Amino acid sequence: MAANIPTHAQVQGGIGATEPGISHDEHLHHDEHHEQNFLQKYVFSTDHKVIAKQFLITGIFWAIIGGTLSSLFRLQLGWPEATLEWLQPFLGKWIEGGKLNPEFYLALVTMHGTIMVFFVLTAGLSGTFSNFLIPLQIGARDMASGFMNMLSYWFFFLSSVVMFTSLFIETGPAAAGWTIYPPLSALPQAISGSGMGQTMWLVSMALFIVSQLLGGVNYITTVINLRTQGMSMSKLPLTIWAFFLTAVLGLLSFPVLFSAALLLIFDRSFGTSFFLSDIYIAGKALSNTGGSPILFQHLFWFLGHPEVYIVIMPAMGMVSEILATNARKPIFGYRAMIGSLLGISLLSFIVWAHHMFVTGMNPFLGSVFMFLTLIIAVPSAVKTFNWLATLWRGNIRLTTAMLFSIGFVSLFIAGGLTGIVLGNAALDIQMHNTYFVVAHFHLVMGSSAFFGLWAGVYHWFPKMFGRMMDEKLGYIHFWLTFIGVYLVFLPMHYVGIAGFPRRYYAWTGFDTFSQFADLNKFISVAAIVAFIGQFIFIFNFFYSIFRGRRATENPWNSTTLEWTTPVELGHGNWPGAIPAVHRWPYDYSKPGAAEDFIPQHVPYSQTQSSNLPYEKEME
Amino acid sequence: MHSSEALNTKQPATGIHPTRFLLILMIVSIFMMFAGLSSGYIVRRNEGNWLEFDLPAGFIYTTLLIVVSSITLQWAWLAARKDNLAQVRTALVVTFALGVAFLVGQWLLWGQLVEQRVFFGGTDANPSGSFLYVLVGLHGFHIITGLIFLIKVLRKSFQYQVHSRQMLSIGNVTIYWHFLGALWLYLYLFLLLNH
């Protein structure tokens, strides 16, 4: 393994793979003359920028699928009495007599969750931006191992193919919820989705975990080992800190999910009883004894909880960067921002059982987890106040990316507050499994992370494709989405408090809920309108790749290293030597400076008018 | 991914070669997987309905095999440091053979478990036995990856790419193999104490 990776990188025009003795300049000449065919350049590429775009476009594809599924089940929830005959050509046998098949409804919910959490907000978000920004912002020519990086994408691709295929099989896709709790997920007799669909789900997730690990070890190694001269850990942009810690979380938690999935596979296909015991189905007793379904929940949530931070932390990092750039102010509390990321990372591993307050756990244990959970409010609040303080009296430029970043902060606050409610065991027992929970995590994790993703795309699009996205369409996209998201999820808190349980196909059987039928219709309309609004973004994205206004090298007057690269980026990132770094990444509006930003690679000797007393020594 | 250029303009970092760093991170992830399984084991065991059985005595022999194979691999590494290629090859072959013997031993012990009526799956299975099969099997799978790694380094040694100034690959395989040995020692002790 040790030898193969450099060799491979060399074949691909690999940068940083020179043998000792070949000088830097010679190597670059060699690189310029290197012709790559289409397959090498765009498909089996080891260039981190191409891999990032592959992750992004696959992520966009998955987001469309995930959104479509949610529109389908919102149709059912908003208009439970309506006939859905017109969907027959699309859904086939899952429409029975004009009605959506209830088991297929569960499959829709399951696949929506799986796709959004893993394929869009994990692979699509951190896969895209960790790949794109880590080498560019730390001043490296590529990832530590371009080959493993390529494998990471292709494992994700394979995993996507399996998951996508499972949507079309006869017994339907997995239907036991994205958390696939056994025994429901373990027994094909229990629900048709637990047959072939669940098997494919597990295979797909196993491939996905391999992809995440290959990517994650690469991100960590690159950040630790390949920083340019002067780029100490305390000069890293907050994006890199966020990606780095996200990768650490993935490295520690995904293997545990793999264990859980493996045991579940054995239970399903090899007759073991890790999670199964004393089960009767249709009056028939199963032979499995001795298993514990709660054990699965422990293993699952040991990943599952860090997973929500894997989803949100990259967005936090990018938002910090975009807010500082567009407020033309240094990020408030740089070190506190790093400290809070570290705090969140650490805490994320010791709070998993707050997802399990109602599993009959010892109340004392529950109170320990409750205590730890509520402590997460502290680093989260540190971040929130720092973002607000960064905005305070800034010279704010409302670019689309900035709007989405501010939207992120808003959603994170709105969703985070209900997290404090749900973190309390006593309240959670009441709210558990209601729409209150759905509203909470869709705001704080789902929508927030999506806003971070959009902010990142709008902000770094010029570096990715050398062109700008259209700002007017961006504004329309932002306001539609921002208002839409609140209109969908604020009412959900209300129906949640009223006791609406999650994952129900219809509430028409309960008189209590009949007065909320209008509210549910309202939520459905808002959700479907907001979803359709996303096609504005998709149009803007693809149109701008080919027809957008040409970008300049540093369109946002930003300080970080990626903006020192040319507009047309080749493999290797910098045509000449990699710039060395002299200062932190947030020298915006520094008093006495000629311009309102000083890039990281500008030495103090060139900025004597603005140097602070302690910086004079470094001139 | 060493290059003279990268070394010149790089922030002095850990001093560990990136490839080795990648390997260490992978070891961390493998460790986490087994940590997950063994904590699951303890949680499940404390819930009762746990079939008690004696661990086959043969595990002590396979344990010895894996310990000796670590020693022989260390011998290969030391020989490479002294540029003694003949010894490197011998030691690598011996390590490989011991690794295969370890795997065969584990396989035979599975057979012995079945004779003891400790099953992996089926109506008579209990999670206590299933866990044992999973832990041994998953560890065995990683031993296979280690054996493949050993073959690659052996091939390199025949191409004169393993010597005192090219210690990376043999160093990496040594780290990985020692880890797998230590992992087995941990699993063995864990099973002895908790079966």
pLDDT digits (tens, 9 = 90+) for B179-193: 999 999 999 999 999
Handedness of CA A415, A488, A492, A121 (dihedral sign): negative
Q: So what's the pLDDT on residue A18?
A: 35
Residue whose tokens read 């997460």: A376
ipTM for the assembly? 0.91
By C-alpha distance, which of B51, B74, B195 is closest to B136?
Answer: B195
CB A305 within 8 A of CB A348: yes
Structural domains of chain A in order of their starting residue, each with its CATH number:
43-277+286-564 (1.20.210.10)
Q: What is the pLDDT of residues A171-198, one digit of tens each?
A: 999 999 999 999 999 998 888 999 999 9
> Between A and B, how many residue pairs show a Cβ–Cβ distance under 8 A?
179
Mutate to test the interface with A, among B1, B148, B169 (most CBs of A within 10 A): B1
**pLDDT over threshold 80, residue B2:** no
Mutate to test the interface with B, among A245, A272, A297 (most CBs of B within 10 A): A272
Position with higher pLDDT, A288 vs A481: A481
d(CA B97, CA B90): 11
Q: So what's the pLDDT on residue A8?
A: 37
Cross-chain residue pair B122–A287, CB shorter than 8 Å: yes
Q: Chain B neighbours among A 221-250 (CB < 8 Å)?
A: 221-222, 224-232
Task: List the domain boundaries for chain B.
Answer: 15-47+57-194
Q: Does A610 touch chain B (CB under 8 A)?
A: no
What HEC string does chain B produce? CCCHHHHHCECCCCCCCHHHHHHHHHHHHHHHHHHHHHHHHHHHHHCCCCCCCCCCCCHHHHHHHHHHHHHHHHHHHHHHHCCCHHHHHHHHHHHHHHHHHHHHHHHHHHHHHHHCCCCCCCCCCCHHHHHHHHHHHHHHHHHHHHHHHHHHHHHHHHCCCCECCECHHHHHHHHHHHHHHHHHHHHHHHHHHHC
Tokens of A25: 């300049």
Q: Does A361 touch chain B (CB under 8 A)?
A: no
Contacts of B172 in chain A (CB under 8 A): 1-2
Fold of B15-47+57-194: Four Helix Bundle (Hemerythrin (Met), subunit A) (1.20.120)
By C-alpha distance, which of A530, A542, A545, A446 is closest to A120?
Answer: A446
CB A261 within 8 A of CB A204: no
Question: Which of B3, B33, B172 is closest, CB to CB, to A255?
Answer: B33
Cross-chain residue pair A289–B168, CB shorter than 8 Å: no
Q: So what's the pLDDT on residue B144?
A: 97
Alpha helices in A118-237, H assignment, sequence order: 128-138, 146-166, 196-225
d(CA A465, CA A471): 16
Q: So what's the pLDDT on residue A79?
A: 93
Cross-chain residue pair B11–A230, CB shorter than 8 Å: yes
CB A126 within 8 A of CB A310: yes
Q: So what's the pLDDT on residue A526?
A: 97
Q: Does A39 touch chain B (CB under 8 A)?
A: no
User: Is residue B46 very low, low, confident or very high in pLDDT (cuts 50, 70, 90)?
Assistant: confident
Q: Does A563 touch chain B (CB under 8 A)?
A: no
Handedness of CA B102, B105, B106, B107 (dihedral sign): positive
Q: What is the pLDDT of residues B67-103, one digit of tens each?
A: 999 999 999 999 999 999 999 999 999 999 999 999 9
Average pLDDT rounded to a whole number, residues A456-473: 96
By C-alpha distance, which of A314, A293, A298, A206 is closest to A254?
Answer: A206
Q: So what's the pLDDT on residue A38?
A: 79
Q: What is the pLDDT of residues A210-221, one digit of tens each?
A: 999 999 999 999
Question: Which of A6, A148, A256 is closest, CB to CB, to B33?
Answer: A256
**pLDDT over threshold 60, residue B54:** yes
d(CA A511, CA A459): 49
For chain B, what is the mean pLDDT? 90
What are residue B140's DSSP bridge partners?
Answer: none
d(CA A290, CA B95): 40
Question: Which of B22, B120, B131 is closest, CB to CB, to A221?
Answer: B22
Q: Chain B neighbours among A 568-587 (CB < 8 Å)?
A: 577-578, 580
Q: What is the pLDDT of residues A328-346, one digit of tens each?
A: 999 999 999 999 999 999 9
Cross-chain residue pair A1–B43, CB shorter than 8 Å: no
Mutate to test the interface with B, among A15, A256, A305, A573 (most CBs of B within 10 A): A256
Handedness of CA A183, A187, A190, A194 (dihedral sign): positive
Please return the burial class of B23, using the count of CB atoms within 10 Å of its CB with bins 0-12, 13-18 and 19+.
buried
Average pLDDT rounded to a whole number, residues B166-188: 96
d(CA B166, CA A154): 31
DSSP assignment letter at A270: S
For chain A, what is the mean pLDDT? 91
Question: Which of A145, A229, A290 is closest, CB to CB, to B126?
Answer: A290
